[in-house]
Chain A
Amino acid sequence: MTERRRRYIRMYALVWFVLAVAGDIGLALGPTPPFQASDLASSQSTVIKILAVIAWPVFSAVVATIAFTLFGNRVAPHEGDIDPGKLRGDSRPQIAWISASIVIVLSLAVYGTVALASDQPGAGISTTSASLRQPASPSDPLEVQVIAQQWWFTYRYPTYGGVETPQLVIPVGQKIQFHVTSLDVVHSFWFYALGVKADAVPLNDNVFTVTPTQTGTYRVQCSELCGLWHGNMNADDAMVVSSSDFATWIQQQQAMDAPILKYLPAYSHTYEPNPPAYGT
């Protein structure tokens, strides 16, 4: 190995190391979306952070290799013949990158499987029956139904007499069980800050459990192309508030809903549009 080549490899290793370490420090210390507004968001944030920290050195190596191959390996015409066969048959770098890749991929697979198995957000299609009962204890989840329709989300709170509102307000620190359904086409309920994205499918009850951990005002958005106003089917007024503020708010909604409550259908996890076939 020539002195020139040794110097080249040392330089390459140094550049890669500095790039990888500086990037990893930034990724590890910096905020990672979707941030910390709920238990789900925090766990997603952690997973993304770990993946990014592991992926960044690999990315740095690819960039450094391309850069060094393009610029570091240059041989000008007057410097003599180019030897094209230097790397051929050199098994050490090959063994190095193949075993590194195997270790990284397998350990991420193990981590991902463990994380998935231990993190049980209670998501999935529910077949439980609906009820208007109050939560028996604070550890019982608060049920909030998300009703999607062209083009607005409305929300029902079965534990508060089935009151319905077009604004989503939930108490902080309380386990929330979203029951997502649709009255017409397929929509998708996306509460980014909480790490919740659930398809709203007619005649289906899609369940998502999440505990918001930070108060604030957030955006909810439809994330399934659903017609003319799909792009505008969002609201910036979703709120996570203290439990006392929530109690005040839900009372206001109950008062506001008084004229319509008697016309609302009995609380149910899915609704069959009535009459079943409109417009025929």
Chain B
Amino acid sequence: MGLRASIVAVSIVIAGVVVGFFVTQYMGHTPPTVTVSTSANTVEGRPVVDVTFTTVAAVGSGLHPNWVAYLNSDGNPSTYFHVPAGSVVRITIDQQDGASGLRNPYFGLVRGTVGNEMTVNHKVMTSINPDDAAHTFTIPDLGVSVPLLGVADNAPAGAQNVVQFEFIAPPQGTYRWQCFVPCAAGTLYGNGGPMQTLGYMAGEMTVS
């Protein structure tokens, strides 16, 4: 009896330690952030910060190798970045994914950016054909939304569209952002998997 009781007690303690270990590992996990570099020049006295993403059709490694994602410069899925309040945030996206089309064509409009415009391969654009959208970069609470032009199906391997736009960082806070193209192939209505997972097609911008 004494032996059995101590075996049970020890098992419970071991189970508790294992569960506690995984919980603390999970809670303590910080997603990789996107490196933000401060540019030397300023616009109207505002500092300019550069944020660079790559969007790909499939991550290729990690937990979900076949998911679409925004990648940071290390090639990891990452959608978290920090910018200073009031700065000019210049986002550059190397868009390498093909088009899958918007569910709501309205998001083919560029809005909320400086001049309500973007450049695609250095060409200024204010909207794209919604059917040609691969993703969007949208911060709902700021009214910022930029459609990302998909790479043509017949484009040579390695082709990409470089999308660049600027917006003014709002006051301090955390702002969610996401993609509005149902781009999660193989999931219900294209809105599952990476569309519902932070770090892939949804993330947060922290303004401090």
Interface residues, chain A, with chain B CB atoms under 8 Å away: 147, 149-152, 154, 164, 166-167, 183-185, 227-229, 232, 235, 256-257, 259-260, 263-265, 273-275, 277-280
Interface membership of chain B positions 120-136, coded 1 if the CB is closer than 8 angstroms to chain A and 0 otherwise:
00000011011000000
By a CB distance below 8 angstroms, the chain A residues around B176 are: 229, 232
Contact A278 B140 (CB under 8 A): no
Please tell me which one of the listed residues A147, A166, A184, A235 contacts residue B191 in the complex, with CB atoms under 8 A apart: A184
Q: Tell me the complex Cα distance, A103–B103, Å.
A: 55
- Assess whether B116 is interfacial by the CB under 8 Å rule: yes
Could you say which interface size class chain B belongs to? 35 or more
A273-B189, A279-B184 given; A260·B105 CB < 8 A: yes
Given A152-B180, A260-B127, A279-B190; 9 other pairs, CB 8 A cutoff = A150-B195, A166-B143, A167-B143, A228-B202, A259-B110, A263-B108, A263-B129, A273-B103, A279-B184
Q: Tell me the complex Cα distance, A232–B184, Å.
A: 21
Q: Tell me the complex Cα distance, A149–B140, Å.
A: 12
Which of B101, B140, B143, B145 neighbours the largest number of chain A CB atoms within 10 Å of its CB? B140
- Assess whether B187 is interfacial by the CB under 8 Å rule: yes
By a CB distance below 8 angstroms, the chain B residues around A152 are: 138, 140, 180
By a CB distance below 8 angstroms, the chain B residues around A151 are: 140, 178
Contact B187 A279 (CB under 8 A): yes
- Assess whether B85 is interfacial by the CB under 8 Å rule: no
Contact A227 B140 (CB under 8 A): no
Contact A229 B178 (CB under 8 A): yes
Q: Tell me the complex Cα distance, A274–B101, Å.
A: 9
Nearest chain B CB to A142 CB, angstrom units: 20
Please tell me which one of the listed residues A184, A235, A274 contacts residue B141 in the complex, with CB atoms under 8 A apart: A235
By a CB distance below 8 angstroms, the chain A residues around B196 are: 227-228
By a CB distance below 8 angstroms, the chain A residues around B101 are: 274-275
Contact A150 B191 (CB under 8 A): yes
- Assess whether B21 is interfacial by the CB under 8 Å rule: no
